[in-house]
Structure 1
Amino acid sequence: MLGRMGTRGAAVLAGGEGRRFKVAGGRGDKALFKIEGKPMVVRVLEAVKEVVDEVIVVVDSWERAQRFAPALSDVRIVVDEEGPRGPLTGIRTGLRKLRAESCLITPCDVPFIKGAALNELLRKLEEGVEGVVPLWPNGFHEPLIAAYKREPALRVGDLLGKLGRTRPDDLVRAGLEVEFLSVREIRKVDPDLDTFVNINKPSDLESRRPLKLSGELDSVRLRHPMELQEVAKLVEEAVAQRRASVVDDGGVLFWSALLRRVLAKSSSELIEAATWYRREAELYDSLGLRLLRARALIDAYRCLEEGGVKADHLMKEALGVYRELGVDRKDL
């Protein structure tokens, strides 16, 4: 086994069947699709087990848990506590059920994932940050192949859940100290970057080829002025008082924006929330985190639209980033 054992765990997310995944005779369950005789989820589990000693698979229903059971007889299967509400719910469920301090999160549809690459994420996490997320040189990050310290990630994840947020990106926007680790570092142990080959449909296997790097961005550390524990207290206080400005002292632009949007009682407050989101987008722009910048711009757009202000230019700008990064527009 690779790495230091005993404090490491992993949650493999298998929450959806994969709507685009169709095989002969109709739609199949993507996680159970066999590659070289093994279900995709089993291949992922084999890599994960090289670097952790506690593993769970998170699914979105008891029906799927029963369907998975024959193939995963030696793995604990847990069901999303809040049902199929998105990846962040699955991450929160996984973190809550794991006991380990350092936790990997992986999807079930990366069948060529490498244990050595996952070990790099955990090794960096154990150097003292609260999250490690792979980063491509063009500013695209991989929120579903990541490593988190369990307690801080779960605390911020639960705060996000209470406010209706479902995106995994929000974990890294909400105050965690995160190392965006360049995939160039991961390439040292996974030369073809097979870890990031995502299979959305059977034809992806036929067209599979080594992933190419474009852009010059290196690893980036996202820090915030205040410790996460103190930021979380401010968020809870702001919600209790229904006064968003309470959280501003924490210095996390995302929370200043989100709470203004959630607690808004007027168009002017929604417009103010959009201003904070645009400040957040500027922060990510300065760091080269282009996908996060696009996410913040979309949030700003929605606030302005809800406030009765046309903001098509913001959506156009965000969609331009999506196109350049190859992100599906459905992922808005």
Structure 2
Amino acid sequence: MGYMVCGIILSGGMSRRFQSPGEAWVDKALFPIDGIPMILRIYRELRKISNHVIIASGSLDRARVYRDVVGDAVFVKDTEGLVGPLSGLLSALYACQSDIAVAVPVDMPYISADLLRHMIRRTGGFDVVSPVLPNGLVETAVIAVVRDSAIAVLERLRGLGRARIADLHRGAPKVQLIDIKKHGYDPMVIININRRSDIGKAASYPEGPINGDIEIIRDFDVKDLSGIPRERLRGSLWWTIETGDPYE
């Protein structure tokens, strides 16, 4: 059975900054915010936009624990050859039965289904869509993607030791960054809970020059980079991998 969109929760990390010295390890995904585990809060938002939620849990042991909390979801473990969230994301994309997927990290408990719908709509013309703040900070871990395009990027990265979600933004041909302040979203919707001290903190928009959505269009096909003149890759992830220059 196919679905219009897949919802993905990335929950395979070790949450090191969330731990307290001398305390047994705490799974941040299960930590309650206003009485509800973070993973369940995000799951409920994703269910507003999709009947197919996939949880990249990192291991089968954690999947069993999460299943008791959220119930009806598909669980996947990490893919070999990739590192960190990219590994879980690729596994989830292969489990996705839709052309479009939207992914959220498990430590973003205030995420809004309205924002995710907005991002999904933009995939009609772009391979990758994420929110951007007025100061230019891109919240790369919240991402809507065209499934086949994202898989093509991630497969090219297998075995290279890459670990950042931002590699998708740097490697895809067509990217849009949504100015969420301009569109009227509360800044709390993309707040990460990295440390326990982050819980309950108010959020405000930083000052900055961004005043509108940003579009990045690159002239190449990820599925066939062979034979493309090197200069056409300049400014992309593939230029960095080809030349070793991290600033281009």
TM-score by length of 1: 0.68
Q: Which of 19, 27, 37 is residue 29 of structure 1 equivalent to? A: 27
| Aligned residue identity for 2:77 | V
Work out the CA distance in 2 between the residues paired with 1:248 and 1:111: 44
- Say whether 1:147 aligns with 2:144: yes
Q: Which of 37, 40, 59 is residue 38 of structure 2 equivalent to? A: 40
- Say whether 1:196 aligns with 2:179: no
Cross-structure match for 2:203: 210
- SS of the equivalent of 2:130 reads strand
Cross-structure match for 1:307: none
Instruction: Name structure 2 gaps, 5 residues minimum.
Output: none
Q: Aligned residue pairs: how many? A: 243
Q: CA deviation at 1:81?
A: 2.2
Structure 1 contact 54–100 (Cα < 8 Å) conserved: no
- Say whether 1:138 aligns with 2:119: no
Give CA deviations for 1:114-164 in whole Å, capped at 9, x if unaligned. 1111111111223x1111111111111011101000001111111012433
Cross-structure match for 2:51: 53
Give CA deviations for 1:50-74 in whole Å, capped at 9, x if unaligned. 1122111101112212222211222
Identify the structure with the greater helix proportion: 1
Q: CA deviation at 1:47?
A: 0.8
| Aligned residue identity for 2:173 | L
Structure 2 contact 14–27 (Cα < 8 Å) conserved: yes
Structure 2 contact 82–163 (Cα < 8 Å) conserved: no
Structure 1 contact 193–211 (Cα < 8 Å) conserved: yes
Cross-structure match for 1:252: 233
Work out the CA distance in 1 between the residues paired with 2:19 and 2:177: 34
| Aligned residue identity for 1:16 | G
Q: How does 1:1-332 map to 2 (within 5 A)?
A: 6-22=3-19, 25-82=23-80, 85-126=83-124, 128-186=125-183, 188=184, 190=185, 192-206=186-200, 208-217=201-210, 218-226=212-220, 228=221, 231-234=222-225, 237=226, 246-248=227-229, 251-253=232-234, 254-260=237-243, 273-274=244-245, 277-278=246-247, 280=248
Give CA deviations for 1:255-314 in whole Å, capped at 9, x if unaligned. 133134xxxxxxxxxxxx43xx44x2xxxxxxxxxxxxxxxxxxxxxxxxxxxxxxxxxx
Q: CA deviation at 1:224?
A: 0.9
Structure 2 contact 101–146 (Cα < 8 Å) conserved: yes
Q: CA deviation at 1:179?
A: 0.5
Structure 1 contact 11–106 (Cα < 8 Å) conserved: yes
Give CA deviations for 1:206-255 in whole Å, capped at 9, x if unaligned. 4x1032231121311100123x2xx4322xx4xxxxxxxx4435712231
RCO comparison, higher one (Cα < 8 Å, 6+): 2
User: Taking structure 1 as reference, are residues 182 and 75 closer, same or farther at Cα in structure 2, changes over 3 Å only?
Assistant: same
Work out the CA distance in 1 between the residues paired with 2:62 and 2:177: 33
| Alignment root-mean-square deviation, CA | 2.2
Work out the CA distance in 1 between the residues paired with 2:192 and 2:79: 26
Instruction: Name structure 1 gaps, 5 residues minimum.
Output: 238-245, 261-272, 281-332
Aligned-pair identity in percent equals: 28
| Aligned residue identity for 1:213 | P
User: Taking structure 1 as reference, are residues 204 and 30 closer, same or farther at Cα in structure 2, changes over 3 Å only?
Assistant: same
- SS of the equivalent of 2:120 reads helix
User: Taking structure 1 as reference, are residues 19 and 249 closer, same or farther at Cα in structure 2, changes over 3 Å only?
Assistant: closer
| Aligned residue identity for 2:49 | V
Give CA deviations for 1:72-114 in whole Å, capped at 9, x if unaligned. 2221211112288211112111111111111101000111111
Work out the CA distance in 1 between the residues paired with 2:154 and 2:206: 31
Work out the CA distance in 1 between the residues paired with 2:239 and 2:175: 19
Structure 2 contact 49–113 (Cα < 8 Å) conserved: yes
Structure 1 contact 21–27 (Cα < 8 Å) conserved: no
- SS of the equivalent of 1:43 reads helix
User: Taking structure 1 as reference, are residues 172 and 205 closer, same or farther at Cα in structure 2, changes over 3 Å only?
Assistant: same
